[in-house]
Amino acid sequence: MISKERQQEFWERCGLTYTKDRDKTLTWYDSEENFVDFGYPDIDLNNLFKYAVPKARDYSENNALQVVEFLWQGVNISNQVECNVVFDNEEFCGRDEDPATALFRALDEAL
């Protein structure tokens, strides 16, 4: 499980901002101040490719995302998915049973 603190730091590195209301509920916005989500943005492939991948490309030297690959070991070996992300010939890897969480872990390392 990914801690709320780690999620918050990750989404902030992706350019999202938040406000807190009186009940301490977070409301997230993108860089153009469009509403994104309450609480924390979902860790799903849509949000990761919409917010995190472009930000990771900004950090790369050549603005080049070379590879995003998902590898499954097979049901008899492991339920985990390995996600490899390559920017500027540097590889970042994340693993989890959920492909989106594996991608989150790889991008978290890259950012």
Q: What is the pLDDT of residues 40-54, one digit of tens each?
A: 999 999 999 999 998
Q: Are 102 and 94 in contact (CB under 8 A)?
A: yes
Over residues 77-111, the pLDDT tens digits come to: 778 899 999 988 889 999 999 999 999 999 999 88
Domains identified in the chain and CATH numbers: 4-110 (3.30.160)
Please report the pLDDT score of residue 57 as a whole number.
82
Q: Residue 72: what pLDDT? A: 87
Give a three-class secondary structure readout of 47-95. HHHHHHHHHHHHHCCCCCEEEEEEEECCCCCCCCEEEEEEECCEEEEEE
- The answer for residues whose C-beta is within 8 angstroms of residue 40's C-beta and 6 or more apart is 4, 7, 8, 11, 26, 28
